[in-house]
Structure 1
Amino acid sequence: MTLGFSVDELLPKARGGGRLAIGLSKLAEDEWLQPEPDLAAREAGFAAYPQGIQLSPEGDAPEAELAAMLGLSGGLPEAARAHHEDMCLLILRPGDEQYRLVGAAVAWPSDWTPADKLGLPLRALHAPIQGYEEQLATGVDHFMAKLKPGAIYGRCNWFIAATGERRWVAEPPELAFAQVSAENAGETLFVRSERQTLRRLPGTGAILFTIGIYVSPLGALSPTNVQRLASAMEGLLNGEGERRGAGAYAHALIGYAQRQVVERAR
């Protein structure tokens, strides 16, 4: 089942509010990575954020295997520059129970710093995510342990941001969304979706985690997706609102969606 390669395509399949869930879909080989990446944008992204590349010696063999699998020379940075997706490598050390991050090539992070995460095990990597330990950690650990070479799985999520920039550093919500209203939400709110995939490398056994970033102004989305987001706001306000800052924009987004309904009815 394809996930698509745009916010409009991803939103119907993305989790939005409520209890955390892995929500994985099995993907075919030709559904794995974006087929026509904007390589100039990738080069510009890494040039603007060189600290997005973080490598450790433990990742040397998986890096080489990945590059060869993709028909490239080099390692993880070359693989990520040649594709739309940011890429991370995780390995399971002997005696460990959790995979840990040993390499990252990330031009467009969603409010995280690769240098702070290198070497950390999965649960520590996800510690800032509200509810991860209680609701998701055990399931993720089990999935990673059972993932077979050749299988590709994908999932997607979404965030509301106050910028259309692909590299996103969140500001305090009361500042970021201070100028947002029901009247201007179509231009001042942006929907950011991560299209994530997981795949085990057959030789080294490392797991490749890819993150494809897609961003759209709220007003450019289909009316169905605008209404979908408005419906999700209640879940965010009652659940993850503090982490996602929903209290600062939810009422404006709901008001914008209602205005759309009224305008279409005229």
Structure 2
Amino acid sequence: MTLGFSVDELLPKARGGGVLKMGLAKLDESNWLQPDPDLAARAGGFAAFPEGVQLSPEGEAPGAELAAFLGLSGGLPEAARAQHEDMCLLTLRPGEEQYRFVGAAVAWPSDWTPSDKMGLPLRALHAPIQGYEEQLASGVDHFMAKLKPSAIYGRCNWFIAATGERRWVAEAPEEAFAHVTPENAGETLFVRSERQTLRRLPETGAILFTIGIYVSPLGELGADNQRRLADAVQLLLDGEGERRGAGHYAPALIEFVRTRQNAFES
């Protein structure tokens, strides 16, 4: 299966709401990483956010293995600078059952700071995600334990943001979306999708987690995806809305999509 490398391609494969699911698709090597990274953008992203590179002693050997695997010298930072994707490493300590976050080379985080996560086990790492412990934690732990080095899995998600910047620092939603109206939602709401992949490095056994960031104005998406988002944010109002701030943008988004759909049909 392929996931694609744009918001329009990723959205149909992302969860629309409801119970949390990993939603993994098995990928082949040719669909692992974006084939045409903008290396100037990557360099600029890391220059603007140098604290996005964090590496513990436990992450040094996996980082070197990853760089060599990609035909590079160096470690995790060099690997991530040469690709479109941000990259994170997780390892399992002897006697423990949860993988720990031991390295990050992240230019474009979605409202998180790598230094705050370093050393944390998976469940603590995902603690801010509403419903993770109850709905997803056991399944993720089992998947990580069984992941084979020959397999690559991918998934995607989406967020609504008030900025098209690839590095996203969320503001209080009542401030971030204060300017959004049904009339301007197509230009002022941005759909942000993370294309995530997981694979095990064969020598060290560490797990590499990649995050490819794609952002598009709502109004530039295809009509089917606009309708898909309108349906999904309506569900968010009854579920994760408070965490994602949906109550502050959903009415404008839904009305924008409804009006555009009516215009196409008339």
TM-score by length of 2: 0.99
Which residue number in structure 2 is paired with residue 142 of structure 1?
142
2:199 counterpart of 1:222: no
CA distance in 2, matches of 1:250, 1:220: 17
2:114 counterpart of 1:117: no
Which residue number in structure 2 is paired with residue 156 of structure 1?
156
CA distance in 2, matches of 1:50, 1:17: 34
**Aligned-pair identity (%):** 79
Within a 5 Å distance, the mapping from 1:61-140 to structure 2 comes to: 61-140=61-140
CA distance in 1, matches of 2:232, 2:64: 42
CA distance in 2, matches of 1:218, 1:181: 13
Which residue number in structure 1 is paired with residue 14 of structure 2?
14
CA distance in 1, matches of 2:2, 2:145: 24
One-letter amino acid of the structure 2 residue matched with residue 24 of structure 1: L
CA distance in 1, matches of 2:26, 2:227: 27
1:32 positional shift: 0.1
Which residue number in structure 2 is paired with residue 171 of structure 1?
171
1:234 positional shift: 1.8
Instruction: Indicate the larger mover: 2-11 or 12-21.
Output: 12-21
1:60 positional shift: 1.1
One-letter amino acid of the structure 1 residue matched with residue 108 of structure 2: W
CA distance in 1, matches of 2:150, 2:38: 26
- Give 3-state SS (helix, strand or coil) of 1:23's partner: coil
CA distance in 2, matches of 1:115, 1:232: 32
Q: After superposition, give the CA deviation of every residue in 1:129-173 in whole Å (9 maximum; x if it has no partner).
A: 000000000000000000001100000000000000000011111
One-letter amino acid of the structure 2 residue matched with residue 58 of structure 1: E
- Give 3-state SS (helix, strand or coil) of 1:238's partner: coil
CA distance in 1, matches of 2:207, 2:79: 14
1:16 positional shift: 2.4
Q: After superposition, give the CA deviation of every residue in 1:107-148 in whole Å (9 maximum; x if it has no partner).
A: 000000000001100001000000000000000000000000
- CA RMSD in angstroms comes to 0.5
CA distance in 2, matches of 1:16, 1:97: 30
CA distance in 2, matches of 1:133, 1:107: 27
One-letter amino acid of the structure 2 residue matched with residue 77 of structure 1: P
Which residue number in structure 2 is paired with residue 25 of structure 1?
25
CA distance in 2, matches of 1:261, 1:63: 48
Which residue number in structure 2 is paired with residue 199 of structure 1?
199
Q: After superposition, give the CA deviation of every residue in 1:90-121 in whole Å (9 maximum; x if it has no partner).
A: 00000111000110000000000000001100
Q: After superposition, give the CA deviation of every residue in 1:162-219 in whole Å (9 maximum; x if it has no partner).
A: 0000000111110000011111000000000000000000000000000000000000
CA distance in 1, matches of 2:114, 2:65: 21
Unmatched 5+ stretches in structure 2: none
- Give 3-state SS (helix, strand or coil) of 2:158's partner: strand
CA distance in 2, matches of 1:3, 1:249: 27
Which residue number in structure 1 is paired with residue 253 of structure 2?
253
Aligned residues: 266
Unmatched 5+ stretches in structure 1: none
One-letter amino acid of the structure 1 residue matched with residue 92 of structure 2: L
One-letter amino acid of the structure 2 residue matched with residue 241 of structure 1: G
CA distance in 2, matches of 1:16, 1:36: 28
One-letter amino acid of the structure 1 residue matched with residue 123 of structure 2: R
